Each structure stands twice: as C-alpha cells, then as structure tokens.
Structure 1
Amino acid sequence: MIKSQITLKQLEAFSFVVDMGTFRAAAGALGTTQPNISSRISALEAALNVTLLYRDAGSVRLTTKGKELLERTRDVLRAGEALLEAAGRQELIEERLRLGVTELVACTWLQSFLRQLRREYPNLRVELQVDLSRQIEERLREGQLDLALQNGPFTSRATGERTLSSETYVWVANEEVAKSLGGGESVGRFFKRAVLTHARHTTAGNALHELAKERGYDAGKIVHSSALSACLPMVSEGMGVALLPKSLVQGELDAGRLKLPNADWIAPPLAFFARFNADRAPRFIEKASDIAGNIRPPAKEDNKNL
C-alpha cells in the first residue's frame, strides 16, 4: 500500500479554486483563509510533483496536467462521500449548502425540504438566499449557489436539473370584492379595479399583459409585486383581484377569507425545478435535489406542460 501524502482538504481546495475562480473566493466558500487555501494547493502540488494552476493577477488557470487531474480529484471527493453514505455516517459530512429559492418556495414547502435534509445530513450548514428566479439563476451560473429551487423559464441550462411539480394559478378576491364582480366569467370585469400579481417579467406577469393586449383590457390596472407575500394583505383588504399561485392562498381559501371568482382565463402553470452544476457538485447536492423531487414529484400533467 502506498502511504499517501495527499489529504481531502487539499483536493477540496484545488476543486474549489477552479470552481470559484480565485483563491479568495474559494477561501470564502470553504470558510477558511486565503493563505490556508494557498498552502493546501502548494502542498498538493509538491506531493504530486506537478503544477496544477497558473497563478495570474487576480485569477487562476488550470495547467494541462491540472485539467487532467481535476476530474480525478472530483472522483476522489465524491468517493469519500459515498463511503460515508454506505457506512450510514452522513453526520460526518460537515459541509455548507448555499441554497437559493424563490419566495413561493420559501412560503410553502421549504420547511418540509429543510426538515428532510436535516434528517439525512444532520451537520450540513444551509445558507439560504430568497430572491427572484432570474437572480437565483445568475448566482447559480456564477457559482455563488450550490442548489436552486426555482421556477422557469431560464436563459441557460444547468448540467443538473430535476423537474418538480408545477404550481397552478387561481384568481382570488375578498368576499366584498367577489360579490361586487357580479355574474359571468369574463376576466375583463376584474380590470375595473386593480389586478394584483407577480413581478413584471415573470411567466404570469407576461401572460397577463399579453391577455390585456389581445382583449383590449387596460394594462395600467395591473399592479406587479416582486414580493408575492405582499399581495395577500392587499387582496384581503379589498384593493383588487389577484392572480396568485394556489398554494400561496390555500390557507386563506380554506378559512373563507378569500373567494374564487369565476374566470374564463388563467395563467399557465408555473414550472419548478431543482437545479445544480452536476459537473462539479458534491454528492450531497445531488442528494438534496433528490429530496426536493421526493417532496414535490412532478405529475403527468406537469410533464405535458414542460
């Protein structure tokens, strides 16, 4: 047996520097200092007797040998995780998961996801970011997030992507407003007052503006909110009719505080995904996406819409 002078921390530092682009960024991601990262990689290069990285001003580049050994490095790190999983010792995985979610996820099923994740990985540290889907997508692409639970559409594909169940939309109003709408099903009667919904460049927002254009409704009545939770008190106070995901308003509907007015149009379902960079993700990130998929499995109808 060959006595190894290589440690997992050294391999981890090498992988993170490549992924993050700088020693400073890798140190921040690993919760250590830049000199520590530099020391680990220097020790790794000395043990292997190769140069893995070119150190340029403010950035790093892989050498030819570094490119060759990078995937081997990732294989070793993933094998280490697999060993702990096979032994049933996931509590020894003391890593950080940088998780990005949309507000709808945060307001509905995030807690169920985090509880299951904690049962599987008790010592995993989760750093949560809640934002608009397009901002989450940008951070995932730049390597600032490890896993995104978000809705489409996307401007780029992630190498790891799992389809989750979609969110259906409903029209809601408080009891007083619902009565004032009268009979019929035309969405046009909603435009006699404020129409509350998602931020402007979302699937629902775009679809609503397209509908207004096609049918000649007053698009100036559409009130967008980047904070979905802010729409709930507004519609409850009678400020207008709202087009919102059903899961967000289900509690208010069950309690009778909001009503479902008849409508001849509804926005298409909001498709959700668990997304990560599979080419560089540790096993626990892929496992976390599996947990999301188990909590929110796609229905056959979802697959037809995607």
Structure 2
Amino acid sequence: MIKSQITLKQLEAFAFVVDTGTFRAAATALGTTQPNISSRISALEMALDVTLLYRDAGSVRLTEKGRELLVLTRDILRAGEALLEAAGRQELIQERLRLGVTELVACTWLQNFLRLLRQEYPNLRVELEVDLSRQIEERLREGRLDLALQNGPFAFQATGEKALAEEPYVWVANTDLANELAGGTSVARFFDKAVLTHARHTSAARALHDLAATEGYDAGKIIHSSALSACLPMVNEGLGVALLPRSLVSEEMKDGRLQSLKSDWIAPPLSFFARFNADRAPRFVAKACEIAASVRPAEV
C-alpha cells in the first residue's frame, strides 16, 4: 500500500527544502532537525526510486524528475488542506504564515485581519515582519515571506495578487498651526514651515519633490521619516505640517488634536495589495489573501 511507503511529512519536507533553499532552513521552518529532513527526503526518493534533488555543498537543485514531481507534491499537500477544510477541521492546520506588512497596515487594520484569520485557522502561527514596502517585496520574491500586505509600485509581478482599498493622503497640522495657515488653498504656504512626510524613496515623497522642483518651492523644508508613526508626535507638537495617509491620522483628526488643511495639491493615493506566490503557496495563504480583501475591499 502507498500509505506504508510515502507520507505527507516526506512530501512536506521535499516542498519546504525547495522553497527555503537548504535542508537547514527547511528544518527550521518545520520545527525539526536537519538530519530528520534529510531522512525524510532520502526515504521519499527511495520509495519513488528517483533522485529528486542534487545536493551541492549546502545548496540544493531540483532534478528534472524532481521538478515534475514537485508540482504533484504541492497538489497533494493542498488536497490535504482541502480535506480538512471540507470536514470543518481547520484547527488541524498547524502551520505558520510568514507575513510581511508595511507600517501603515500595522498601525491601522492589521489587528482586524489577524482576528479574522485566527477565527478561520485557530492554530495557524503568524510570524510578522513590519518593514518598508520594497524590503517586504524582496523577501516575498526570495520566498522568505508567504504573504505581503503592501503598497505599490512593485518591481516584480506576484503570481497571486488581490487589490485592496487605496489609502488617500491628507495635509494636517496641529490646531495652532492650522489656524495660522487657514484662509488659503495654495500648497506653497506649507513650504514656509517644515513639511513632514514619508521616506525619500516613496511615491508620495517623490511626487512632493517633483512639485517643489516644478514650482520652485524650497525642497530643503521637506523632512522625511522612514517611520510614519514618528511623524505624529512631531506634527502634534507643531514642528511643521504633514502629508500623511488619512487612516494614520484619523483618530487625531477625530478628537481635534490635528486639523486637515485645504490644499490645491495632494499626493496620489497609495495603492495597496495582498500578494503571494500562488504557484507554491499552501491553500491557507490564498485564504489569508481573501481575508485581507474582505477587511480592505477595493473600491469598484
């Protein structure tokens, strides 16, 4: 019988070695030892009477047959997940989700997403990384993340991608500074103060610098921050005006600590996406992508 020859653990080890690149990394991901992973792969190769992987000084490469069987291996692992889902036993899916998010997501709707994800997969372990979007994208491309909740633009096209709600920008200042700047709409008046905004490489910062160059504004007044949350105490203290995503400052605007400023120019909204590598991701990653889209549905 096949059950005495091939196990799901062996197939899982095979897929994880390919995805992580080494036996050691696969062992870490699966919570076991490198010799155990090696044993599972060897037993699988023996049972199938094929060589799946070339071992080269710490790295691995798929054989031609291994490449063919990897596709079927992923199908079998996904079918196992589908069986548990059909039986309503998602709690038996005890995997990990390597999740990368930008700071804006972490500060706004991440908690709601994680709550719904836990309801669907009670025993799913989430390993969270919060970073700049370009860093998250690189880790996703390299296979070091399973799912990315991030804003574009992107350097590569993910095989699994779902558009999320856009994040509009708003000009804000504390009450004293807002009163001083009231009565006008020209963005030029903001450049009499410090202008707080995103890190220099972001699309909003580039658009702001392009505007300054076109209109002759003093770009030296622009203060960049790689941590958006660091802008909040500065703008609250009246150190300048700020160009920030509206959702980040919604609570401060609601309770009156910050005021929105009229302006004849605003940066284009941030376009957010849930992204994953659909060709190798387990079913629960695709489901997590759908949950993100339910929390932040894209506008039609």
TM class by shorter chain equals: over 0.9
Equivalent residue, structure 1, for 2:44: 44
Equivalent residue, structure 2, for 1:171: 171
Deviations 1:77-134 (A, max 9, x none): 0000000000000000000000000000000000000000000000000000000000
Return the letter of the residue paired with 1:56.
D
C-alpha distance in 1, partners of 2:186/2:3?
76
Return the letter of the residue paired with 1:109.
W
Query: Which residues of 2 match residues 143-162 of structure 1 at below 5 A?
Result: 143-162=143-162
Return the letter of the residue paired with 1:130.
V
Equivalent residue, structure 1, for 2:213: 213
Q: 1:132 to 1:2 in 2, by over 3 A?
A: closer
Query: Which residues of 2 match residues 220-231 of structure 1 at below 5 A?
Result: 220-231=220-231
Deviation at 1:25, TM superposition (A): 1.5
Q: 1:120 to 1:3 in 2, by over 3 A?
A: closer
Query: Which residues of 2 match residues 173-252 of structure 1 at below 5 A?
Result: 173-252=173-252
TM-score normalised according to structure 2 size? 0.98
Q: Secondary structure at the match of 2:244?
A: strand
1:294 matched to 2:272? The reply is no
Query: Which residues of 2 match residues 1-306 of structure 1 at below 5 A?
Result: 2-300=2-300
Q: Mean Cα displacement is larger for which, 174-183 or 9-18?
A: 174-183
C-alpha distance in 2, partners of 1:278/1:4?
31
Deviation at 1:183, TM superposition (A): 1.8
Q: Secondary structure at the match of 1:233?
A: helix
Deviations 1:181-221 (A, max 9, x none): 24210001000010000110111111111111111100000
Deviation at 1:13, TM superposition (A): 0.6
Return the letter of the residue paired with 1:299.
E
C-alpha distance in 1, partners of 2:62/2:262?
60
* Contact persistence 2:16–2:26 (CA under 8 A): yes
Return the letter of the residue paired with 1:90.
Q
Equivalent residue, structure 2, for 1:304: none
C-alpha distance in 1, partners of 2:280/2:177?
52
C-alpha distance in 2, partners of 1:96/1:291?
16
TM-score normalised according to structure 1 size? 0.96
| Segments of 4+ moved more than 2 angstroms | 1-4
* Contact persistence 2:182–2:261 (CA under 8 A): no
Q: How many residues align?
A: 300
CA RMSD of aligned residues (A): 0.9
C-alpha distance in 1, partners of 2:117/2:215?
46
C-alpha distance in 2, partners of 1:229/1:284?
31
Deviation at 1:180, TM superposition (A): 1.4
Structure 1 residue ranges without an equivalent (≥5) = 301-306
Q: Quote the sequence identity (%).
A: 78
Deviation at 1:36, TM superposition (A): 1.0
C-alpha distance in 2, partners of 1:40/1:132?
37
* Contact persistence 2:108–2:247 (CA under 8 A): yes
Structure 2 residue ranges without an equivalent (≥5) = none
C-alpha distance in 1, partners of 2:34/2:2?
30
Q: Secondary structure at the match of 1:173?
A: strand
C-alpha distance in 1, partners of 2:223/2:31?
42
C-alpha distance in 1, partners of 2:3/2:36?
23
Deviation at 1:160, TM superposition (A): 0.7
C-alpha distance in 1, partners of 2:155/2:111?
28
Q: 1:3 to 1:154 in 2, by over 3 A?
A: closer
Q: Secondary structure at the match of 1:136?
A: helix
